[in-house]
Every structure is written in C-alpha cells, then in structure tokens.
Amino acid sequence: MSAATDHIIVQSSRTSRAASIVALLLLATLLAAPWWAGRADLRLFGEIYLYVALACLWNFLAGYAGLVSVGQQAFVGFGGYCLFALAIFLGVHPMAAVPLIFILGTLISIPVAVLIFRLRGAYFAIGTWVIAEVFRLSAAQISALGGGSGTSLPVDIVRAIASSRSGREHAAYWAALAVAILVIASVYLFLRSRQGLALQAIRDNETAAQAMGIDIWRTKFFVYIVTAGLTSAVGALIFLQKLRISPDAAFSVNDWTAFVIFIVVIGGIGTIEGPIIGTIVFFLLRETLADLGSVYLLILGFVAIVVMLRAPSGLWGFVKSRTGIELFPTTRRVEPRRN
Amino acid sequence: MDWVNAVLQGVLLGGLYALFAAGLSLIFGVMRLVNIAHGDFIVLAAFLGLVVTTTLGLHSLVALLIVVPFMALLGYLLQRCVLNQTLGKDILPPLLVTFGLSVIIQNGLLEVFTANPQKLSAGALETASIPLGAGLNAGVLPVLTFAAAVVIIALLQWIFYRTALGRAFRAVSDNQDIAQLMGLNKSHIFGLAMALSMAVIAIAGIFLAVRTSFDPSVGPARLIFGFEAVIIGGLGNLWGTLIGGIILGVSQNIGAQINPGWQLLAGHIAFLVVLAVRPRGLFPRVDG
C-alpha cells in the first residue's frame, strides 16, 4: 500500500506551467489587438483564429477519436446557413444566434452520426462527404435564402451588431478569438478528464479499451456530436465575417476540409499544439504563395503527402520527440511524491 | 411513358456508375485501401483520352488502347513508390495521402487544361440510338457503356476466382503475412491490383468523357457515385455493385423527373435509405 501512495500521477510540468504564463500574456496582447493592429491585420487574425478552431476540432475528431471526416464542411455550412436563417426569418441578433447554432449543430449531427457510424474507417470518411453533399444540395433548394446563388445579410441586421463599421469589426474579431479559445480549452479539458482518458485509450488500443469497460461507440458518438456543434458555431462566425453566403462557398470541401486537414497533418496530428502551429505555417505560406493560385494548392498537397510519409507526427511531433515538451499536457506520468 | 423512359435511362446510367465503382471495390477487397483520388484519376484518364484523340486523331474508343495501359502502369508505379508505404494498421496515412493526391491532380489539371469544360467526341456513335418501340429509344453509347460494365465485372470475377493472379489477390486479402510465407510478394501483388483498378478507371474515364462534358473539378462527385454504388450493392460483391449502380442511376433519374434540382439529392437519399435499412448493403458477401 505504501508503494502506491509514494507516487502521484501528474500531468503538468514546469515547462507547461511556464507556457501557460506566456500564453496568458499572449492572450492579453491579442485581446488588445483592436487598439494596436490595423484593419487588414485584424481581419487576417480573425480568419486565423477561426482556422485554429476548425483545425483543433478536426484534430479532435481524427487524431483522438479516429473518426477521419472529409465532410466537416457540412457543419461549417450548416452553421452559416442557420445564422442567416435565424437572423433574417426570426430576427435573432447574430451574436445571440451563435450559441443557439451550437445546439442546433449538435442536434442535427445526432441522426447523421447514427447513420454514418455504420460505416468504418475510410468508408466513414466518404460517408461524411455524402452528408456534406446532401446538406449543400438541400441548401441550394432554399429559395428564400437565394437558392443556388446565395444571399447577403441585410443591412439592418448588420447594423444591429454595432452601429459603426469598426465596432462591427472589433466584435467579429473578439468573437473569433473567443470561439478559438473556447474550442482549445474544451478539447484540452476534455482530454484531461476521465472521458478524455477513455478516448486516448481507445485510440491506442480499441480492444484493450473495450476490455477495460469503455463504451467505444458512446465515447466516439459524444465526440462527434460535440465537434459538429462547435464546428457549426465556428461556421456561423465565418459567415458573420463574410456577410454573404452561397451553397458552394458554405459547403466548400477545399476551404473547410482540405486546408484544415493539411494544417493538422503538417502541424502534427494527435496533439493540441499541432493544429495551432500548422495554422501559423499555413497562413505564412498563404501570405507568401497565394499569388500562385492553384500551384499553391498543388504545393500544399505535395507537402502534406511528404509529411505523412516521412514525418507522420508532423512539426510538433518532431519537436515533442526530441524534447518531450508538452505545452498542453494531456499525457499522464507517474512521479515520486515530494513533500 | 416519361417514367418508363427515366427508369430505362437510369438503368443504363447505372452501368457507368458500376464502372466507377468496380475499381474502388477491387482495391478495397485486396488491400483495404480506399482511394480518395479515385474520381480524380477517372477525370485524369478522360483528359488523357482528350490528348490522345486530338494529337493522334484517333477515335475516342480506339484511344482506350493507349489510355488503359498508360493508367495501369501509372497505377503500378503509384502503388509501389507511394501507396505501399502507407499501408498498415493505421487507416489515416492512406486516406490522407490519397486525399493529397486528389488535390494535386485537380489543381495540376486546372493548371494544364484550365477550368473550361471539355468533351470527347465519338462521331456518329454519340447520337445513334436503338428504337425500342412505344416511343422509347436507347442510345447506342449508354448501351455500350452498360455492356462494357457487364463484361468488365465478369472479367474481374473470372480473374478473381479462376486465375493464379486472382488466387494471389485473395491470399493477400485474407492474410498478408502467410501469403508472404507462401512465396507471394505482397508489394508486387498490391501493385498489380492497383494497375487493374486503374485500367478500369481508364475505361470509366473514357466513357464518362464521351457521355458528358467534364472539367478538372468533377472528380470527387464520381468518387461519391462509385462509393454509393459499392455500399448499396454490398461490400465485396462485384455483381452487387452493378445493381447498386443501377439503383443509384434509376433514383437520380426519377428524382430529376420530379424536379430537375433533385437529381443528385435523390441518389444520395437512396444511398442513405439503404444505409439506414441494410447497413451491409443489399447483397453483402456471405463470408464477409
């Protein structure tokens, strides 16, 4: 008995505690960005936050729950369309609509999950794509929202967010930052919880996890629907920034899934840090190579393949294997008790 | 009469979908690989057909003699040089690598051929039709496509169950390690399976290109149609795949008959209904 009490299980480390202080300072700086950054920068930052959120969510799904989806654009588009529908038809304030859309996204993903969970592995992936197509084709049938050509958010609704343009831009910026932090924090806290331990056990060995009494279906189902809800909320904010929606833009597989997959693979799948680093790399590449048009996508696809073949744990995996650093500690270590 | 016609054309369209599906089903059966770039390879084959017919002045169907071996060789090399490295217990690497390939092919084609829609001409064959009486007509080309699908599926069945190559395919599919011990080189066998799959893709691509116009972005939808045909028919059953393709084609045409905007939606809904009612497909292979 004494041998057991001599040891404790720890998750944090000195590095991670130092990192959390740096993170708080960085957060304060970013929160104050409307006072020190220009309009274009603010817009770019907002876009980066939303991509960080999408990448974290996709990574949560694929890297932790083993549910590889190529159809997350279904929920991005669903969130966007719900925002427009709630604001235009029911007069809901766009900012108040975002939490509602989280609930709606979670609800719609329940029947979706029940259906596509019948498919395994790679077939699951294509199944998610079919769902996204069904959503896109259905959205194109809603003539009140412009059918196939889409619609813009009416001016009086845009004015309701804030009367001045800079006010609206600041609101959109803070909302994007808030949702990114919310997503990272939820994923992080979930992984540190009891259910998170179960999820990581499933990832490492499904049979062994099942033998320990973990309900695999229920755990994955929970991850899927929460991810869908949060992805819908992010989608709502994306189209709140754009102020215009169309089925092709809302359910774009390139914008909301291909880019996100490349971000996660390059940054490091199955880590919390990976998607954040991947997003930064992605935007650095984009800002320098965007003029190349489709060649840029070609390069991105090529880099992702090389990373997958040569360094499957990505940039952060490389750093982690060399140094053992975890900025967001989720692994558990046994250490001797110090008094 | 419109309805009978819609069903008839849907059945014939199903032949094309079965061609999309056969290659997908084949490599999944042999190595549990799902090629996300499958549809983009179909479009690549269509563009190759375009290059061959315009530069050599060949008839579209004669171009098959060049495009099929070329795609088969490409498939073998792709498998040996890239995809074999991704196979293993983890399903993520093959998925993400083929997803990357899909993006590369789409944007590569876009760079070379631009986004303009293209079409392969097949001369008088395009408009020729067989009168079936009572105002019904079956186009010669759709009938030819359907016949090609039947012949190819019969051929694949024969290869799988009657030849040494098919025995090797089934052996590596059942147990890779023991197949290796019996003297089979699984890397080579996988390469041959991908070559065969790509040969079918080439045929599908040419028939697609003669039937409708195409551009670099249409690949993913072909992957989805092929996938739906596989799942509706039942995994591992090639004849089931043909029936899956027919069900998909008929649903799409009936949907289009009700409202032109519902064509694709009706096909997807048919797929989802089958998934809800019979998750293993209508005709799953018994020994699963």
With an 8 Å Cβ cutoff, is A140 touching chain B? yes
> Which residues in A lie closer than 8 A to residue B102 (C-beta atoms)?
301
With an 8 Å Cβ cutoff, is B91 touching chain A? yes
With an 8 Å Cβ cutoff, is A318 touching chain B? no
Kindly indicate the confidence band of residue B152, based on its pLDDT and cuts at 50, 70 and 90. very high
Q: Report the C-alpha gap between A319 and A317 in whole angstroms.
A: 5
Whose structure tokens read 């039937």? Answer: B211
Mark which residues 288-307 of A lie under 8 Å from B by CB. Answer: 294-295, 297-298, 300-302, 304-305
How much is the mean pLDDT over chain B? 91
Nearest-5° Cα angle at A188, A183 to A192? 150
The reply to whether residue A261 touches residue B96, judged by beta carbons under 8 angstroms, is yes
For residues B21-47, give the mean pLDDT. Answer: 93
**pLDDT tens-digit map of A189-200:** 999 888 888 888
Which chain B residue is nearest to residue A62, measuring alpha carbons?
B92
For residue A73, the model assigns a pLDDT of 96
The reply to whether residue A258 touches residue B110, judged by beta carbons under 8 angstroms, is no
Residue A81 tokens, joined: 């369309």
**pLDDT tens-digit map of B244-262:** 999 999 999 999 999 888 9
**pLDDT tens-digit map of B40-88:** 999 999 999 999 999 998 888 899 999 999 999 999 999 999 999 998 8
For residue A336, the model assigns a pLDDT of 75
Mark which residues 21-40 of B lie under 8 Å from A by CB. Answer: 28, 32-34, 36
For residue B148, the model assigns a pLDDT of 95
- For chain A, what is the domain count? 1
Considering the entire predicted model, what is its pTM? 0.90
Lowest-pLDDT choice from B9-23, B30-44, B83-97, B238-252: B83-97
Kindly indicate the confidence band of residue B288, based on its pLDDT and cuts at 50, 70 and 90. very low
- Counting every residue written for chain B, the total comes to 288
Residue A37 has pLDDT above 60, yes or no: yes
Give the number of beta-carbon pairs within 8 Å between A and B: 113
CA atoms in the 13 A half-sphere facing the CB of B183 = 1
* Of A221, A256, A55, A120, residue with least CA distance to B34: A120
Query: Domain residues for A111?
Result: 11-330
Kindly indicate the confidence band of residue A339, based on its pLDDT and cuts at 50, 70 and 90. low
Q: Quick count: other Cβ atoms within 10 Å of Cβ A111?
A: 11
Kindly indicate the confidence band of residue B286, based on its pLDDT and cuts at 50, 70 and 90. low
Taking CA atoms, B219 is separated from A156, A315, B131, in Å, by 41, 31, 33
With an 8 Å Cβ cutoff, is B96 touching chain A? yes
Residue A337 lies in a domain: no
For residues A228-257, give the mean pLDDT. Answer: 93
Residue A4 lies in a domain: no
Of the partner residues A119, A121, A130, the one whose CB lies closest to the CB of residue B268 = A130
Of the partner residues A126, A258, A298, the one whose CB lies closest to the CB of residue B108 = A298
Asked if B146 and B132 touch (Cβ cutoff 8 Å), the reply is: no
Residue B39 has pLDDT above 60, yes or no: yes
- Domain CATH number, residue A42: 1.10.3470
Kindly indicate the confidence band of residue A54, based on its pLDDT and cuts at 50, 70 and 90. very high
Task: Provide ipTM, 2 decimals.
Answer: 0.88
For residue A163, the model assigns a pLDDT of 78
For residues A230-234, give the mean pLDDT. Answer: 96
The reply to whether residue A121 touches residue B272, judged by beta carbons under 8 angstroms, is no
Taking CA atoms, A235 is separated from A76, A122, A132, A232, B96, in Å, by 4, 25, 14, 5, 23
Selected from 1.10.238, 1.10.3470, 3.30.700, 1.10.10, the CATH number assigned to the domain covering B2-123+139-277 reads 1.10.3470
- More confident: B123 or B231: B231
For residue A1, the model assigns a pLDDT of 44
* Of B142, B102, B92, residue with least CA distance to B122: B142
